[in-house]
Amino acid sequence: MSNLRTTQLQDIQNMLEQQGYITDKSVAMSVFLSLQLNKPLLVEGPAGVGKTEIAKVMANALKTDLIRLQCYEGLDATHALYEWNYQRQLLHLKMTEHDSHSVDEKEKTIFSDAFLMKRPLLQAITHHQKPVLLIDEIDRSDEEFESFLLEMLSDWQITIPEIGTMKATFIPQVILTSNRTRELSEALRRRCLYLYIDYPDFEKEWLIVKNRVPGVDAKLGAQITRFMQELRLLKLEKTPGIAETIDWAVALSVLHVDHLDKTTIEQTLGVVLKEWRDTRQVQMSLSELMEKTKIHSKFDSP
Amino acid sequence: MIGRLTSLSKNIVQFCIFLRSKGFAVGVEEEAIMLEVLQFLDYTSYEAFFMSLKTVLCRSKTQWDAFDKLFREYWEQVSQAVDAKLKAETKKKKQPVSRQQQFSSLMAWMKGNKNKEAEETAAYSMNEALSRKDFSAVPESEVDELMRCIRNLSRRLAAKANRRYEFTRKIDLPDLRKTLRRNLRRGGELIDIIYRRPKRNRLKLLLLCDVSKSMELYSAFLLQFMYAFQQVYNRMETFVFSTSLKRITPLLKQKNFHDTLELLSTESDGWRAGTRIGESLHAFVEDYSRKLVDSGTIVIILSDGWDMGNIDMLQKSMKIIQEKTKKVIWLNPLAGYAAYRPDVAGMKAAMPYIDVFAPVYNAESLRTLTKWL
């Protein structure tokens, strides 16, 4: 970690790119500042633009562990922090029923580390080195959980009634992601640095495709990328992200396709679009889309 | 407001003040962080400087999008201020009070304060916006405010606890009976503990909205209300009626409010005609009530009760609706006025079958509605 002090912006960008994450200056800057200031980074943006990926890449680059907390509605402190292993505790008591230990001693044993099930947040705080803690899709959790998180993010400690307060051995590098399905509280935002990632432009996306799908035919890759760029301009229920572009490129190169044409697109549209209404809409405006992306089917033009 | 400060750090502090005036919630903490960032940043690079400010000072997508323009605006003004500063100072001292200014202040004194007048018109402007006929006049910001209100409301509706219990995997109330039962084979030793929690009532909502001529004044609000509710609350059906009944649930499911407005204005031929509440409710009872209504449904009727139709039919339909549903709420935009009495024939006929009668005409009244539900 100590060498990070001297790491500069360009180095961060290189570091991310070495891990296969194509990025731009704004992402590199956010990661850089987040590391330097040791502050959580809140990443927002549409689905499939690589928000979660940042955390994975950071963990790889820093050679540390990634601890992931997937948020969902109804997520509460017991699922995020810790839980006592009741069954084991009971069994233990049963087995030691005839021991001569006092009640106090017994209590001490059953409320010890051996019976504590650490959930992601506690894991992150008690980790043996500085981990990357990914709190994924925070907007899916309830407001109560968000408030609970505030306490942890500012003090870096957790209180367990039976044991006492556990202070963080290393302050984790926190990445929070959100799809903006719910507005996050101002208090949470204030504790984080902010980054918004949008859909990439053509050059960036093409680079990503090249990087992630090395075997892809150059002409096909460029066509796919251009097609996706146009596709995102349509009003779709669920706009496809980079993840879909990569999936498509992989699928087509596995099929040994070397260029796009109408039938190929129609047959493989399911890789990209996940709503039947979208599929129908794209099918109807397919010729127009192909016109725009300058893809000509060999059947269309003589 | 913007002057030139010699040191970079002072300039940053002033930039923060500038952002604050543009609605950014930039506190002292952010300023401190930014100054800290300067220590390890190559701030001679314009790009790095810009990006770091953006990362530290922005808090949301709106701010993220607005930042570029504000940044440019500020630093341009700073460079202009270099030249303007000296001139501005000398100008201030020598400027004499012009005759025009004297005259206008005299006029203001004679005729009362002009500013006050402006304030009053601002206060009335909301009514003006509501009375506009064009659907597109509805401002998006009001939709947001309304959405927030309705989200609270719908959460309360969805979270009403039942007296019965259901199984839960979370640690909640222990269910002793089931726990004992489950552990019988272990000789009654309690190893598996079963939990239960109060069952949540999943209420269905049904919105019947009057869009006749007499409600025109409130149409903007009604649209927002219907749209916001449908967006927030999943188990919901929406109908509009004037002389006939129409189901508009699918139209309101558009993600973008303006899309909804477009769709509605293409389909709203019968809007702002006369009102036949009785016939419309009858049609609802006949065509939809069997499928959409049960004892777990709350029916919300939004109407002023002005009726030109069959009063008898209105009464009968209301009776059926009340019997079939959990609760009938009648929201009346007129009921907000202190002098209002539900004397209209339609309203009078419906009154005995209404569980909650409340005024609703803006977001504020909606908030008070929460306590009725």
User: What pLDDT, in 10s, does the model give residues B11-64?
Assistant: 888 888 888 888 888 888 888 888 888 877 776 777 888 888 888 888 888 888
Looking at residue A20, what is its pLDDT? 81
Search chain B and give the residue with CA nearest A8: B41
Looking at residue A44, what is its pLDDT? 92
What is the rounded CA–CA span in Å between residue B309 and residue B278? 6
Highest mean pLDDT among A196-210, B215-229, B271-285: A196-210
Q: Quick check: B268 pLDDT over 60?
A: no
ipTM for the whole predicted complex goes beyond 0.85: no
Q: In what order do the strands lie in the sheet with B173-174?
A: B161-168, B195-200, B173-174
Q: In what order do the strands lie in the sheet with B356-359?
A: B245-247, B236-241, B204-210, B297-302, B327-332, B356-359
What's at B250, amino acid-wise? P
A78–B29 CB contact, under 8 Å: no
CB atoms near residue B368 (< 10 Å): 11
Q: Quick check: B257 pLDDT over 80?
A: no
User: In angstroms, how far is CA B6 from the centroid of its own chain?
Assistant: 45
Looking at residue B235, what is its pLDDT? 78
When pLDDT is cut at 50, 70 and 90, the band that residue A161 belongs to is: confident
- The encoded tokens of residue B20 equal 């604050």
Mutation target for A interface from B16, B26, B34, B51: give the one with most A CBs within 10 A.
B51
Continuous H helices in A23-140: 25-37, 51-61, 77-80, 86-95, 103-110, 120-125
User: What pLDDT, in 10s, does the model give residues A16-28?
Assistant: 888 888 878 888 8
Q: How many CA atoms lie within 13 A of B221 on its CB side?
A: 23
CB atoms near residue B145 (< 10 Å): 16
Continuous H helices in A198-299: 202-212, 218-231, 242-254, 262-272, 276-284, 286-292
User: What pLDDT, in 10s, does the model give residues A88-115?
Assistant: 888 888 888 888 888 888 888 888 888 8
User: In angstroms, how far is CA B64 from the centroid of its own chain?
Assistant: 23
- Taking a C-beta distance cutoff of 8 angstroms, is the pair B360, B333 a contact? yes
| Residue A39 touches partner B, C-beta closer than 8 Å | yes
When pLDDT is cut at 50, 70 and 90, the band that residue B121 belongs to is: very low
When pLDDT is cut at 50, 70 and 90, the band that residue B159 belongs to is: low
What is the arithmetic mean of pLDDT over B338-360? Answer: 78
Comparing A238-252, B97-111, B127-141, which segment has the lowest mean pLDDT?
Answer: B127-141
Looking at residue B126, what is its pLDDT? 34
What is the rounded CA–CA span in Å between residue A79 and residue A69? 9
Phi and psi for A119 in degrees, rounded to 5?
-95, 170
| Residue A87 touches partner B, C-beta closer than 8 Å | yes
- Taking a C-beta distance cutoff of 8 angstroms, is the pair A238, A214 a contact? no
DSSP assignment string, B110-135? HH--HHHHHHHHHHHHHHHHHH-S-G
User: Closest Cα of chain A to B59: distance in Å?
Assistant: 6
What is the rounded CA–CA span in Å between residue B161 and residue B165? 9
What is the arithmetic mean of pLDDT over B216-245? Answer: 77
When pLDDT is cut at 50, 70 and 90, the band that residue B153 belongs to is: confident
- Taking a C-beta distance cutoff of 8 angstroms, is the pair B298, B327 a contact? yes
What is the arithmetic mean of pLDDT over B206-224? Answer: 76
Looking at residue B90, what is its pLDDT? 45
Which secondary-structure segment (H or E) carries B42? none
User: What pLDDT, in 10s, does the model give residues A224-235?
Assistant: 999 999 888 888
Beta bridge partners of B168: B195
| Residue B40 touches partner A, C-beta closer than 8 Å | yes
CB atoms near residue A210 (< 10 Å): 16
A193–B36 CB contact, under 8 Å: no
- Greater confidence (B123 vs B15) lies with B15
Phi and psi for A181 in degrees, rounded to 5?
-80, -20
User: In angstroms, how far is CA B279 from the centroid of its own chain?
Assistant: 32
- Greater confidence (A298 vs A254) lies with A254
User: What pLDDT, in 10s, does the model give residues A50-86?
Assistant: 899 899 988 988 889 999 999 988 788 778 888 888 8
Beta bridge partners of B357: B330
Search chain A and give the residue with CA nearest B254: A237
Which residues from chain A sit within 8 angstroms of residue B59, using beta carbons? 186, 189-190, 194
- Greater confidence (B309 vs A257) lies with A257
Phi and psi for B290 in degrees, rounded to 5?
-65, -40
**What's the DSSP call for residue B326?**
S
| Residue B191 touches partner A, C-beta closer than 8 Å | yes
B48–A29 CB contact, under 8 Å: yes
User: What pLDDT, in 10s, does the model give residues B174-204?
Assistant: 888 888 888 877 776 778 888 888 776 667 8
Q: Taking all residues of chain B, what is their mean pLDDT, rounded to a whole number? A: 73
Q: Quick check: A294 pLDDT over 90?
A: no
B55–A90 CB contact, under 8 Å: no
- The encoded tokens of residue B288 equal 């939809």
**What's the DSSP call for residue A43?**
E
- Taking a C-beta distance cutoff of 8 angstroms, is the pair A19, A28 a contact? no
Q: Quick check: B83 pLDDT over 70?
A: no
What is the rounded CA–CA span in Å between residue A189 and residue B60? 8
What's at A77, amino acid-wise? A
Which residues from chain A sit within 8 angstroms of residue B56, using beta carbons? 33, 193
User: What pLDDT, in 10s, does the model give residues A118-156?
Assistant: 899 999 999 999 999 999 999 888 888 888 888 888 888
Choose among A36, A94, A186: nearest Cβ to B189.
A94
Looking at residue B117, what is its pLDDT? 37
Residues 6+ apart with CB under 8 A from A26: A195, B51, B54, B55
Q: Are strands B236-241 and B245-247 parallel, antiparallel or unpaired?
A: antiparallel
